[in-house]
Copies of this chain bind each other. A is one copy, B any other.
């Protein structure tokens, strides 16, 4: 865990913040590297020091959030399922601009499917097919069912300006998930 030079962190933070802001304002295709460097207040060349191009930047940004969420899930594994969900919803809230932009219709269409894929992966360890209750149920169907429900609910919550606090959402979703699994 060799710590990273703070200049790298600062530059990358500024660049990532910039592209999220810009994506919330205009179409991804219309964003130039110059736009990003202007907004981030870094030299244009600095962006190329960290990313191949704007697609690579978007990929890395998404993947970072996925990893962050994976970290939260494994870290919160010891807790109750409902408690773990609270932490996730607080993460969504904290990164509101990212999720609202990415889940918006004009947003990155790749993110929704990547998000779903991640959730299914996480649910995999939670479903128990050997359980009496789940006799005759197909795993892929169950995972898909839970995953889309989760994504869809988060999407609704975010796109409607987070009408309930995270812990309420987490509680509701937690109850519903418990019933399924």
* Interfacial residues, chain A to chain B (CB-CB below 8 A): 6, 10, 41-43
> A6's contact among B6, B10, B41, by CB below 8 Å, is which?
B41
Inter-chain contacts of A10 with B (CB < 8 A): 41
Kindly state the separation between the CA atoms of A6 and B41 in the bound complex, as whole angstroms.
8
Dominant secondary structure at the A interface = loop
A57 CB → nearest B CB, Å: 20
Query: Which residues of B are found within 8 Å of A41, using beta-carbon distances?
Result: 6, 10
Determine the distance from Cα of A6 to Cα of B43 in the docked complex, in whole angstroms.
Answer: 9
4 contacts between A and B (CB under 8 A): A6-B41, A6-B42, A6-B43, A10-B41
- Within the assembled complex, what's the spacing in Å between the Cα atoms of A59 and B42? 29
Measured CA separation A10–B42 after assembly (Å):
10
Which B residues are in CB contact (< 8 Å) with A6?
A: 41-43
CA distance A120 to B83 in the complex (A): 62
Separation of A42 and B10 alpha carbons in the complex (Å)? 10
Cα-based distance from A100 to B6 in the complex (angstroms): 31
Top-4 shortest CB links A-B:
A6-B41, A10-B41, A6-B43, A6-B42
Residue of B nearest to A10 (CB): B41
Closest CB-CB distance, A29 to chain B, in whole Å? 28
In the assembled complex, the CB of A139 is this many whole angstroms from the nearest CB of chain B, namely: 47
Provide the bound-state CA to CA distance between A55 and B42, in Å: 30
Q: How far is the CA of A42 from the CA of B6 in the complex (A)?
A: 8
CB nearest neighbor in B for A41: B6
Question: Chain B's nearest CB lies how many Å from the CB of A121?
Answer: 35
Taken together as a complex, chains A and B put the C-alpha atoms of A147 and B42 apart, in Å, by 42
Q: CB-nearest residue of chain B relative to A6? A: B41
Q: How far is the CA of A6 from the CA of B10 in the complex (A)?
A: 14
